[in-house]
């Protein structure tokens, strides 16, 4: 067992050895530029890229020609949201998203507000779900886009995508999703969900970092927006620049592997996750699950250990790689914006840890993590005035209701 034990797969995952094997020839042997169509090196590279594109499109319910390769989901989110705002400015300037979105969506929307767009940031319920009736009521005549994350990167909430898509279809509004935590882990079908576009990154499902995609459904509605990056006209002029051939090959291979083992892997990881939660609840008490018990990513566990400060707990767990929230926000000392959006007590927000299991997580590692966390929480609570106050409050509350 390798120490520290890795429990942060929402941040990134290791490249699967099978994926790496598929990628290796394109670093040193078949290293051509797919835009070099005058010789065999370019033809081999182009064939590999188009094969990966077709495979990816099949797995997400899109057409191959509508998959645009990017450096990752953050770029894809920026590309689509800013592009639509510019391209459809004559039709409207209103965008709807959620308070719990990834920062690449939230910060993009805040930038667009400075450019004259109006953005509605919908709240969520205590499990992180959007309320469909509130979404419907928020759509106005000038609304051009709804952007809602498929599965939350902190609390694992899987949104009711089909219901959201139906509302957007009825209202004739574009529907985009940052699906980077969902692709490769749960079924994704753009046609079934009435999605106009989705973004994702490969490093969340055992492909390399630095490769992702933006997928459209042009059969539903032809995309109309200005590109962020211009140059050689690659990717239908939507995203210029020399293609990352090894990364694209890896992306396609990783998604193929994930699709083939998705049900089995989800059952195994959700079983491990639930075993961890049961152990924490039975051994510690004062443990609260953040997010839903169902409609949740199978590898996600976000738990508040009441009476223990999250960063202090992490410092006590140096033999476990775990996080308090999004890796993209780790430089920000502020509490998780996702947990704050749930409108839960402040103490619960500041005592939360996020565990992310992976394809390579073993039962031995789970047992080790459970044991170490329980030990650390008990030790910290023993010297915590905040926990003693919490216990006294709970005890007093029980006495108040005793007949």
* pLDDT value for 204: 98
In degrees and rounded to multiples of 5, residue 321 shows phi and psi of: -90, 100
Residue 401 binned pLDDT confidence (cut-offs 50, 70, 90)? very low
Cα 288 to Cα 302: distance, rounded to the nearest angstrom: 9
Q: How many other CB atoms are there within 10 angstroms of residue 325's CB atom?
A: 25
pLDDT over 60 at 403, yes or no: no
Cα 312 to Cα 294: distance, rounded to the nearest angstrom: 29
What residue spans define the domains of the chain? 5-10+262-401, 17-257
Domain 17-257 in CATH 1.10.760.10: no
Cα 250 to Cα 348: distance, rounded to the nearest angstrom: 39
Cα 109 to Cα 116: distance, rounded to the nearest angstrom: 11
pLDDT tens digits, one per residue of 334-350: 789 999 999 999 999 99
Tokens of 92: 């409207």
Q: In sequence order, which residues have a C-beta less than 8 Å from that of residue 379 and are 6 or more positions away?
A: 316
pLDDT over 80 at 223, yes or no: no
Mean pLDDT of 357-373: 98
- Short-list 350, 377, 376, 369, CA closest to 7: 369
Region label for 242, one of left (φ > 0), alpha (ψ between -120 and 50) or beta (otherwise): beta
* pLDDT value for 236: 86
Cα 77 to Cα 199: distance, rounded to the nearest angstrom: 6
Q: In sequence order, which residues have a C-beta less than 8 Å from that of residue 214 and are 6 or more positions away?
A: 67, 68, 70, 76, 79, 80, 197, 198, 199, 238, 239
Residue 288 binned pLDDT confidence (cut-offs 50, 70, 90)? very high
pLDDT over 90 at 385, yes or no: no
**Straight-line distance from the first to the last Cα atom of the chain, in angstroms, rounded to the nearest whole number:** 53
109 catalytic? Reply is no
Catalytic position from the list 109, 117, 168, 328: 328
Q: How many other CB atoms are there within 10 angstroms of residue 385's CB atom?
A: 8
Domain 5-10+262-401 in CATH 3.90.1150.10: yes
Residue 95: its H or E element? strand 94-98
**Adjacent-strand bridge partners of 320:** 5
Cα 399 to Cα 403: distance, rounded to the nearest angstrom: 9
pLDDT over 90 at 325, yes or no: no
- Short-list 172, 182, 246, CA closest to 215: 182
CA 269 to chain centre: 17
pTM above the 0.85 mark? yes
Cα 122 to Cα 140: distance, rounded to the nearest angstrom: 14
pLDDT tens digits, one per residue of 93-146: 999 999 999 999 999 999 999 999 999 999 999 999 999 999 999 999 999 999
Cα 95 to Cα 53: distance, rounded to the nearest angstrom: 29
pLDDT over 60 at 74, yes or no: yes
pLDDT over 90 at 333, yes or no: no
Tokens of 400: 């108040």
Residue 398 binned pLDDT confidence (cut-offs 50, 70, 90)? very low
pLDDT over 80 at 220, yes or no: no
Mean pLDDT of 174-180: 97
Average pLDDT value over all residues in the chain: 93
């Amino acid at each position: 067992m390798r120490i520290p034990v890795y429990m942060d797969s929402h941040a990134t995952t290791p490249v699967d050895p099978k994926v790496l094997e598929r990628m290796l020839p394109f670093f040193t042997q078949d290293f051509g530029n797919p835009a070099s169509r005058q010789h065999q090196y370019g033809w081999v590279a182009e064939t590999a890229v188009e094969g990966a594109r077709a495979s990816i499109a099949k797995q997400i319910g899109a057409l191959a020609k509508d998959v645009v390769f990017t450096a990752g989901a953050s770029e894809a989110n920026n590309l689509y949201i800013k592009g639509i705002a510019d391209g459809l400015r004559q039709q409207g300037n209103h965008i709807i998203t959620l308070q719990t979105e990834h920062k690449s969506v939230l910060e993009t929307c805040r930038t667009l507000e400075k450019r004259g767009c109006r953005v509605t940031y919908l709240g969520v319920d205590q499990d992180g779900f959007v309320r469909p009736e509130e979404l419907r009521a928020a759509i106005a005549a000038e609304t051009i886009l709804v952007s809602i994350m498929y599965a939350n990167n902190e609390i694992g909430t899987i949104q009711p995508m089909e219901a959201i898509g139906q509302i957007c279809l009825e209202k004739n509004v574009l529907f985009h999703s940052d699906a980077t935590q969902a692709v490769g882990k749960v079924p994704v079908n753009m046609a079934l969900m009435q999605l106009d576009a989705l973004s994702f990154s490969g490093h969340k499902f055992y492909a390399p970092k630095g490769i992702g995609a933006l997928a459209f459904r042009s059969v539903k509605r032809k995309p109309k927006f200005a590109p962020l990056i211009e140059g050689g006209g690659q990717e239908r002029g939507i995203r210029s620049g020399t293609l990352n051939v090894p990364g694209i090959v890896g992306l396609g291979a990783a998604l193929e592997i994930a699709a083939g083992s998705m049900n089995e892997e989800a059952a195994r990881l959700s079983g491990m996750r639930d075993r961890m939660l049961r152990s924490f609840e039975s051994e510690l008490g004062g443990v609260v699950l953040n997010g839903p018990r169902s409609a949740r990513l199978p590898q996600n566990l976000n738990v508040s250990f009441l009476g223990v400060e999250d960063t202090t707990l992490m410092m006590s767990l140096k033999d476990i790689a775990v996080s308090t929230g999004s890796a993209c926000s780790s430089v920000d000392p502020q509490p998780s914006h996702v947990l704050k959006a749930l409108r839960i007590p402040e103490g619960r927000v500041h005592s939360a840890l996020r565990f992310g299991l992976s394809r390579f997580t073993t039962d031995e590692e789970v047992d080790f993590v459970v044991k170490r966390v329980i030990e650390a929480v008990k030790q910290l609570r023993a010297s915590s005035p905040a926990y003693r106050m919490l216990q006294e409050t709970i005890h007093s509350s029980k006495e108040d209701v005793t007949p």
